[in-house]
Structure 1
Amino acid sequence: MGALSGRTALVTGASRGIGRGIAERLGRDGARVAVHYGTNEAAAKETVAAIEAAGGAAFPLGVELGRPGDAEALWAEFDRHADGVDIIVNNAGIGTAPALEEIDEAEFDRVFAVNVKAPHFIVQHGLTRLRDGGRVVNISSGLARTAVMPDKMAYAMTKGALDVFTRDLSKVLGPRGITVNSVAPGIIATDNTAGLLGTEEGRAQAAAISALGRVGAPADVADVVAFLASDGGRWITGSWVDATGGSLT
């Protein structure tokens, strides 16, 4: 029996990168995983297949976030497969944003719609489905606590807002025994960081930021999320968990 056997998890943005790593880990721990994707259905089905090949259970869930009614549409699709949820991982997000001098209002609104508004309303509309004793994990960023990349200001702002959401939501849901935490990755090797890590020089520079001297992998973040989702994480709530590999030290 896995640590999460009998539980149902929703992981947004789970078709690739960190989200896929989280979905696969929760699946290995016994959770039935709703693998959310925005547009890449094939990638989401690959994640589902990987979970099932490892002996787990999962189903794809396709809804593009950042549009009016996205949260209602997501839960309507979820309800076709499950009658409740124990773990919500708000991972989906736009992973970058143009610099202050370049970003326009439409781009600014879009990154906030996906990174902040969507998680807020996914939780709001999920409250009647989220079981007592459940877990909410929001994927933040080390950039919420450091100005090392000021050219990504708008993106960093969204993660700061998400952290405030985490803090206050923990007080709202605490009486139901539901924990709420932020997990903040540093530089993780995914297709989203391929441009940065595509050269030996770029990868070496990224590795040097970490106190551990390497670039992170999706599993490094997924293992932290899995702990918070387990019974072992029951006494941690309202916290910002540094999963940057010591990049902020």
Structure 2
Amino acid sequence: MPVPQSRGLVSRSLLRENAYQALRDAIVDGTLTPGERLNDSDLVEWLGISRTPIREALARLEQTGLVRTKPGRYTIVSPLDLRAARGAQSVTAAMHELAVREALPNLSRAELDAMRAANTRFADALARNDVDAALAADDAFHGVAVTAAANQALRAVLEQFTPVLRRVERLRFSSLSGRGSVAQHDRIIELCAAGDVEGAATATRANWQTLAPLLDALAADDSDD
């Protein structure tokens, strides 16, 4: 019988994306720890794919600041770089503010309901101390405006800089300092529902800027060591 043309075909771009997401998530959630060496053979065995998409994913992760590579010698998980994290926070806050500005004039009732549902899940996850679920719900909440803005350049910038912040946010959402975000999200929804573009954009930027005290605390801890 003729062999189907699609049999066994998995696009290289899909393999690269899957490898990137798996490695990114393992670094962000601490499965792969700062300073840990990433050996090609170990990653091939773990992910079950060839070296080429893994190396392409590692190159992308280096651009986001999650790994460091010395060609021909080693690739390691990057320690948390507070200067890079501060830069990522500034850029990410500005991009989410822009997303709200561009999305709000046409934001539908269904999209507002999606924001409310995401914040409910977020509050529940924080109450259960489920950091992974809290991060997923926070992504879903802010993702409504990002999707509605339909700005690919904005999305590309967020995809580059958000992973660095996720490492910091895991610390925030595992402590009481993350609880205030629920009320901040409610305020953003309220302003969006009222059609207040300036207020909603400003509140969104302020929400992302709440990472600053945690970054300051981490910097203080480093200086004490």
TM-score scaled to structure 1, two decimals? 0.25
Using CA pairs under 8 Å that are at least 6 residues apart, name the structure with larger relative contact order, 1 or 2. 2
Question: Which TM-score applies when normalising by structure 2?
Answer: 0.27
Greater helix share, 1 or 2?
2
Higher strand share: 1
Larger Rg: 2
